[in-house]
Amino acid sequence: MTAMPRPAAVCLTLIIVASSVVAALAGDGSTQPATNQIAEAAAGAQQPILVGTAIHVYDGDTIKVQLDSGPIIVRLHSIDTPEHDQPWGPEATAALAGRLRGRQVSLDVVTQDSYERLVAVVFVDEDNINAWMVQQGNAWAYRHYLADKRFCSWEAQARAAGRGLWGQPSETWRAPWQWRAAGRGEPVAYTDYRNETVAQCMAAMPDTVQPAKAIAGSAHAGTSGIDVPVPSMPPHGNCLIKGNISPGGRIYHLPGSDSYDKTRIDEARGERWFCTEAEAREAGWRPAR
């Protein structure tokens, strides 16, 4: 698979990991600076950085990742895969599990939903797994929530080549968002995708993708039980780690942790937001237990 371009913070993350500083999200960097310089650069990039191990695959677009400070649930951004009770649903799940389970992953976080799940682009080394799932015919480009037009091209190429779900009879080509709507009892006229063009896919993309719409608009609830509700309040900038000051000291909370959604940051009290775990630790915060 062709490696996808990645945000600069990811390569910084991988260098940090190589230096035994496990932090966390998303390339390019030819020189390895000192560890403290890396942390400063990552913080300056205003990108939340998460690195962990994929420990469970719920379905073709939802996984559990073990971080140093605990597990989180991650929804893969820009893609939608067949449900477990839908043709090619089990195969999509198996494909993602075979690619990810037990592997170290980097998460380019897009947003977080109100159930404390992250929506992210998932990388293994330099490979964009979200893109790979579409390229292999295991996922659809999630049209209404796309920001990258290449997903439409990748889906069209997979369909033309008959890869994955596109190798099945065309009457089984049911968009997962329409399948779920039918499962909720809504009247659905399934779209015929046999002759869909890249331009038609792109036309379904919103002019501006808001993080809330990117995860909430579809009421994504499949047999995995992973729902996608309206997101919580947006974080400060693009840095998602909450640095809270409590009677127990200076504690940071990662998205997906038990107390994350309840924690409110008051910068007037010295509380703050962090982009990486390394940045939080260097500033004197410890992870929540």
Element (H, E) at 213: helix 211-216
For residue 217 the two structure tokens come to 């608009």
End-to-end Cα separation, the chain, in angstroms: 39
Examine the residue annotation and report whether 194 is marked as an active-site residue of this protein. no
Kindly state the tokens that stand for 201.
Answer: 């896919």
Tokens of 124: 């293994």
Q: How far apart are CA 170 and CA 88, in angstroms?
A: 12
Distances (CA, A) of 112 to 105, 191, 203: 18, 30, 26
> Which one-letter DSSP state was computed for residue 120?
E
| Per annotation, catalytic residue among 75, 143, 180, 272 | 75
Of the residues 6, 99, 116, 117, which is catalytic? Answer: 117
CA distances from 7 to 14, 25, 26, 107, 119 (A): 12, 9, 5, 11, 16
The reply to whether 83 belongs to the active site is yes
Residues in the chain: 289
Active-site residue, 75 included? yes
Cα 107 to Cα 123: distance, rounded to the nearest angstrom:
6
> Helix (H, G, I), strand (E, B), or coil: what is residue 67?
strand
- The structure tokens 């329409």 sit at 178
List residues with catalytic annotation: 75, 83, 117
